[in-house]
Amino acid sequence: MNRRSLRIAAAVIAIASFAITCQEISAKQLFWADGGIKRANLDGTSITPLVNHPVGRFAIADNKSTVYYGGLDVRKLTPQTGDDSFLFDVPDYSIFSSIAIDPIRSNLYIVEAMSSTIFRTDLDGANAATVIPGDGQFTNTTRIEHVQIDPLGGKLYWSQYTPPYPPTKSFRRSNLDGSQQELLFNVSDYIMDFAVEPISGRIYWTSSQGWPNSGAVWRANYDGSNREQIASGLWGPYALALDAEQGKVYFSDSWTSGPTAYDNTLRVANLDGSDPRILINFGPMDGAYDLSIGDLVPEPASAGLATTAWFALFACRRRSRPPGRL
């Protein structure tokens, strides 16, 4: 093989090594809350604990697995470094029942359960402002439960229970500042969790009537049309997450959901509900009650970077020649 061929081969190896290294550096993973926070590969392997103390809801920011989570306060976890730090308490708010992130504008949207309020802050807790209700008048009768963001579309989505008994269970949305509030559609069963898929203009949600085999996973257009039940026979489908790029919906179930009664499971199916399967069987221990997908971004693999650099250097290196020779 002549020197030119060697350089071409080295360039090809460098490109391949770089691609492999990038794949190592960024890979989607599942994150879930089960009393703490854990993560695993999308196939359910390599389960890794991240937080071992009580956790409420959580959200993942900027595709770098920075986890913001709350209960009585809001904390920030950076899995790459292991840093788990207190961020802020918001005066006059008691407990956070749902949290979402606008990565474009660097905002947190948090549902405060007792006053049924959605407020917005910067990622460090500064500039707190009430968004829903827009008039700032708190209520403990209407119940806002979960919140989601479409940052590109500039929309805020939430699920709501409105009295009197039996309460109306609905999906609603507004602009990110709380203006132009609108009712999307009502549902009959209790909404356990939901996610929005802006590309297709759909909402996916889990629901239950509170007894075995009454739980299900649904999807519908934003206006409630084309409603489909894509999974059924569940009991406690508390958590749901979408990977629209790969065409997958992930959801949890509890009690009577595994091979043995009282097993808790984490499941996956295609977006239309086909090819359902169990990824993780937790047994009778705590199952997943919040679920998200983020990109794991570890430190670059030194061996991969070294291989890339060496072959790239060889491919680009010009052979030295004696003076006066071309």
> pLDDT, tens digit, for every residue of 190-212?
999 999 999 999 999 999 887 77
Q: What number is the average pLDDT over the span 228-243?
A: 93
The rounded percent of the chain whose pLDDT value lies above 70 is: 75
Same domain, 242 and 266: yes
**Cα 302 from Cα 174, distance rounded (Å):** 46
What band does 136 get if pLDDT is binned at 50, 70 and 90? Answer: low
Q: Give whole-number Cα distances, 223 to 83, 153, 162, 163, 176, in Å.
A: 42, 16, 19, 22, 19
2 pLDDT higher than 60: no
Candidate ranges 44-48, 72-76, 140-144; pick with highest mean pLDDT: 44-48
Same domain, 136 and 69: yes
Same domain, 22 and 119: no
**Which residues form the domain of 177?**
28-299
DSSP H/E element including 202: strand 202-208
Q: Is residue 178 part of a domain?
A: yes
What band does 311 get if pLDDT is binned at 50, 70 and 90? Answer: very low
Same domain, 243 and 262: yes
Supply the CATH number for residue 117's domain. 2.120.10.30
Q: Is the peptide bond before 198 cis (omega within 30 degrees of 0)?
A: no
Phi and psi torsions of 179, nearest 5°: -80, 160
Averaged confidence pLDDT in the chain: 80
163 pLDDT higher than 50: yes
Tokens of 268: 């996956």
Same domain, 93 and 227: yes
Q: How many independent structural domains does the chain possess?
A: 2
Same domain, 116 and 98: yes
Characterize the bridge pairing of strands 74-78 and 83-88. antiparallel
Same domain, 201 and 314: no
Same domain, 231 and 305: no
pLDDT at position 315 is 46
Q: Is residue 323 part of a domain?
A: no
**Cα 115 from Cα 144, distance rounded (Å):** 9
Q: Is residue 210 part of a domain?
A: yes
* pTM summary value: 0.81
What band does 12 get if pLDDT is binned at 50, 70 and 90? Answer: very low
Q: Is residue 326 part of a domain?
A: no
- From 25-39, 136-150, 249-263, 304-318, the region with the lowest mean pLDDT: 304-318
268 pLDDT higher than 90: yes
**Cα 90 from Cα 108, distance rounded (Å):** 12
Ramachandran category for residue 315: left, alpha or beta (phi over 0 → left; psi -120 to 50 → alpha): alpha
Q: What number is the average pLDDT over the span 245-260?
A: 80
- From 43-47, 54-58, 96-100, 300-304, the region with the lowest mean pLDDT: 300-304
What band does 90 get if pLDDT is binned at 50, 70 and 90? Answer: low
pLDDT at position 11 is 46
Between 65 and 85, name the one with better pLDDT: 85
Same domain, 263 and 312: no
Between 170 and 94, name the one with better pLDDT: 170
pLDDT at position 303 is 40
**Cα 5 from Cα 315, distance rounded (Å):** 10
pLDDT at position 226 is 97
Same domain, 175 and 307: no
